[in-house]
């Protein structure tokens, strides 16, 4: 082989190494994927479409490791509203906002360790979690309950606890979305958010949890597709060398964060990047800016797409847009992460302790519930007969997806057999109007108690109007808020769960019926 051919082969393998595609299927990995892992690709991403059960997923990831023992297998198992392992039934663990509301870092660490154990059992080695974003904008449509809260120090201590818990069982943490996605009312899956804050505010607020996570040894950081003009007026964080190299990588002495681990991009096909730069150019620009691993995640990849993106990165090197040394550095960082995860998984298996199943998750969900009785009313009497559950359902968060069930109806039916439920949406409100929608709810409820379940009422005027009209007609209605409890408490009993995980629904049902350990 000539020197030129060897150099070309190294370049091609490096370009493959930084790509982290996804694929379709639950029973077997595609032949093309196994082939490209042999050719130098280092890792893959998994989403709900790949998961049926932990045992099934373990079999699927074993196929990948048979070809490449140190393959990086990543997913975003945040717990709470964003779950991949339990997308069909709902998470056994509450999400970040619930954990932040309890504010017990040891509990957060225990939850993260249990999540990590389940990931490790399924063969997953990198978790694109936790979200270290501070939910400073109440109108945020994509973070919300995925944030630990609004206080930078609280978010920082729970981010550290989650990172520590995950990595204690051999799963690499990936804190996101750098430099902070909480202060926006735009979803970067759909468009490019712009955050107009000054650098002092950024350092004193958004960057606090990331600095803490880096100090705690987080193996990975994920970039955000957001534009912060105070840092870079032209390019979003994922494509900005000022953000990734000049801020995240730069030494602390020079005003940076001094981070030396792997930088993942958020999914590169999100419209904040793809709609403006395209996938091919977006990949090359992200690596040039300082990203090491490019997540190609929203839709399943195929071999043609992976090879096209590989060739786009190689072409960027040959045309002088991407320094070859930068690409090689990125590839080496990803390979080093793969070695770490292999060693960490082996060490964690050798020292595995007792597993506490769902207990820690349910305990956390119960501790996160907050009950507010109606002002001036007699003490709330727990429900003792089957109610009608009116779920006012907003459009699904893109990150969470549409297949994961939520609410309290199933758990109430377990405690009060005969519970019935109805799903009421914005489309119903537009069709029937507020009065018509509420009339439909009342007709369905008849003489049964009513439990109204809402999610981020403060962000959805149709929901707030329907709830107000329902309470005017049936003031004894119990209200369960399963999103961010930003609106004022209403109803005979207001139950704030701080998330919509399955265990949050169970904790709420226990509170409503007086049959649980809610504090």
Half-sphere exposure of 55 (CA within 13 A, CB side): 0
What mean pLDDT is predicted for residues 382-395?
Answer: 94
Domain boundary among 319, 350, 381: 350
Structural domain boundaries enclosing 39: 17-350
Q: Quick one: pLDDT band at residue 491, thresholds 50, 70, 90?
A: very high
Angle between helices 303-318 and 31-39 (to 10 degrees): 30
User: What is the reported pLDDT for 193?
Assistant: 84
Asked whether residue 157 is assigned to any structural domain, the reply reads yes
Instruction: Examine the domain organization and report whether 339 and 433 are in the same domain.
Output: no
Q: How far apart are CA 332 and CA 36, in angstroms?
A: 17
Instruction: Examine the domain organization and report whether 114 and 249 are in the same domain.
Output: yes
Instruction: Examine the domain organization and report whether 48 and 119 are in the same domain.
Output: yes
**What does pLDDT average to over the chain?**
92
The catalytic residue among 177, 189, 225, 460 is 189
Instruction: Examine the domain organization and report whether 246 and 391 are in the same domain.
Output: no
Domain boundary among 288, 318, 350: 350
Asked whether residue 71 is assigned to any structural domain, the reply reads yes
Lowest-confidence region among 196-210, 371-385, 411-425, 474-488 = 371-385
Please list, in sequence order, all residues whose beta carbon lies within 8 angstroms of the beta carbon of residue 155, skipping any fewer than 6 positions away. Answer: 100, 132, 133, 134, 147, 148, 149, 208, 209
Name the DSSP class of 410.
Answer: H
Instruction: Examine the domain organization and report whether 346 and 375 are in the same domain.
Output: no
User: What is the reported pLDDT for 184?
Assistant: 81
Instruction: Examine the domain organization and report whether 423 and 383 are in the same domain.
Output: yes
Instruction: Tell me the per-residue pLDDT of 93-132, one tens digit each, with 9 for 90 and over.
Output: 999 999 999 999 999 999 999 999 999 999 999 999 999 9
Instruction: Examine the domain organization and report whether 90 and 141 are in the same domain.
Output: yes
Asked whether residue 358 is assigned to any structural domain, the reply reads no
Domain boundary among 295, 323, 350: 350
Q: Could you tell me which residues are beta bridge partners of residue 423? A: 391
User: What is the reported pLDDT for 515?
Assistant: 85
Q: How far apart are CA 492 and CA 474, in angstroms?
A: 9
The catalytic residue among 76, 187, 266, 456 is 266
Q: Would you call 177 a catalytic residue per the annotation?
A: no
Q: Would you call 363 a catalytic residue per the annotation?
A: no
Instruction: Examine the domain organization and report whether 191 and 236 are in the same domain.
Output: yes
Instruction: Examine the domain organization and report whether 109 and 245 are in the same domain.
Output: yes
Instruction: Examine the domain organization and report whether 326 and 381 are in the same domain.
Output: no
Q: Quick one: pLDDT band at residue 26, thresholds 50, 70, 90?
A: very high
% of the chain residues with pLDDT over 70: 93
What mean pLDDT is predicted for residues 461-468?
Answer: 97
Q: Quick one: pLDDT band at residue 34, thresholds 50, 70, 90?
A: very high
Q: Could you tell me which residues are beta bridge partners of residue 176? A: 131
Asked whether residue 5 is assigned to any structural domain, the reply reads no
Is the pLDDT at 7 greater than 60? The verdict is no
| Number of domains the chain is built from | 2
Half-sphere exposure of 186 (CA within 13 A, CB side): 15
Asked whether residue 360 is assigned to any structural domain, the reply reads no
Asked whether residue 53 is assigned to any structural domain, the reply reads yes
Instruction: Examine the domain organization and report whether 339 and 191 are in the same domain.
Output: yes
Asked whether residue 508 is assigned to any structural domain, the reply reads yes
User: What is the reported pLDDT for 192?
Assistant: 80
CATH of the domain at 90: 3.20.20.300
CATH of the domain at 445: 3.40.50
Q: Which tokens sit at 336? A: 């080093």
CB 80 within 8 A of CB 98: yes
Asked whether residue 390 is assigned to any structural domain, the reply reads yes
Instruction: Examine the domain organization and report whether 332 and 392 are in the same domain.
Output: no
Is the pLDDT at 245 greater than 50? The verdict is yes
């Amino acid at each position: 082989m000539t020197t030129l051919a060897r150099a070309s082969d190294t370049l091609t393998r490096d370009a493959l190494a930084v790509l982290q595609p996804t694929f379709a299927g639950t029973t077997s990995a595609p032949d093309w994927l196994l082939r490209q892992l042999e050719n130098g690709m280092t890792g893959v991403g998994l989403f709900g479409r790949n998961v049926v059960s932990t045992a099934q997923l373990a079999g699927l990831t074993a196929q990948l490791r048979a070809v490449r023992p140190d393959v990086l297998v990543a997913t975003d198992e945040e717990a709470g509203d964003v779950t991949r392992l339990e997308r069909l039934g709902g998470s056994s663990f509450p999400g970040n906002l619930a954990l932040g509301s309890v504010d017990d870092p040891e509990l957060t660490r225990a939850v993260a360790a249990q999540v990590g154990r389940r990931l490790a059992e399924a063969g997953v080695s990198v978790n694109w979690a936790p979200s270290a974003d501070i939910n400073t904008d109440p109108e945020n449509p994509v973070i919300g309950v995925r944030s630990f809260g609004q206080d930078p120090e609280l978010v920082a201590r729970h981010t550290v606890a989650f990172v520590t818990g995950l990595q204690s069982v051999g799963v690499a943490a990936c804190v996101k979305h750098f430099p902070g996605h909480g202060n926006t009312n735009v979803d970067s899956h759909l468009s490019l958010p712009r955050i107009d804050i000054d650098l002092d505010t950024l350092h004193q607020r958004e960057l606090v949890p990331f600095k803490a996570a880096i100090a705690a040894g987080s193996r990975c950081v994920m970039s955000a597709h957001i534009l912060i003009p105070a840092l870079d007026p032209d390019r979003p964080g994922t494509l900005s060398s000022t953000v990734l190299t000049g801020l995240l990588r730069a030494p602390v002495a020079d005003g940076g964060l001094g981070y030396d681990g792997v930088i993942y991009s958020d999914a590169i096909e999100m419209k904040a990047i793809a709609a403006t730069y395209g996938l091919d150019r977006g990949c090359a620009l992200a690596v040039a800016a300082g990203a090491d691993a490019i997540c190609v995640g929203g839709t399943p990849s195929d071999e043609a797409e992976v090879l096209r993106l590989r060739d786009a990165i190689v072409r960027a090197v040959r045309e002088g847009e991407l320094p070859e040394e930068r690409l090689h550095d990125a590839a080496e960082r990803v390979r080093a992460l793969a070695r770490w995860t292999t060693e960490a998984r082996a060490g964690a298996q050798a020292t595995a302790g007792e597993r506490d199943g769902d207990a820690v998750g349910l305990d956390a969900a119960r501790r996160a519930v907050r009950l507010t009785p109606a002002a001036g009313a007699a003490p709330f009497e727990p429900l003792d007969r089957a109610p009608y559950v009116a779920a006012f359902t907003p459009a699904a968060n893109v990150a969470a997806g549409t297949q994961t069930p939520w609410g309290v109806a199933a758990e109430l039916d377990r405690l009060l057999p005969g519970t019935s439920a109805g799903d009421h949406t914005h489309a119903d409100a537009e069709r029937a109007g507020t009065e018509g929608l509420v009339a439909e709810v009342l007709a369905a409820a008849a003489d049964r108690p009513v439990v109204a379940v809402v999610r981020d009422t403060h962000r959805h005027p149709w929901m707030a109007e329907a709830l107000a009209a329902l309470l005017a007609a049936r003031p004894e209605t119990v209200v369960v808020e399963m999103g961010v409890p930003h609106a004022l408490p209403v109803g005979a009993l207001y139950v704030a769960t701080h998330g919509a995980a399955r265990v949050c629904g169970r904790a709420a049902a226990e509170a409503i019926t007086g049959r649980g350990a809610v504090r």
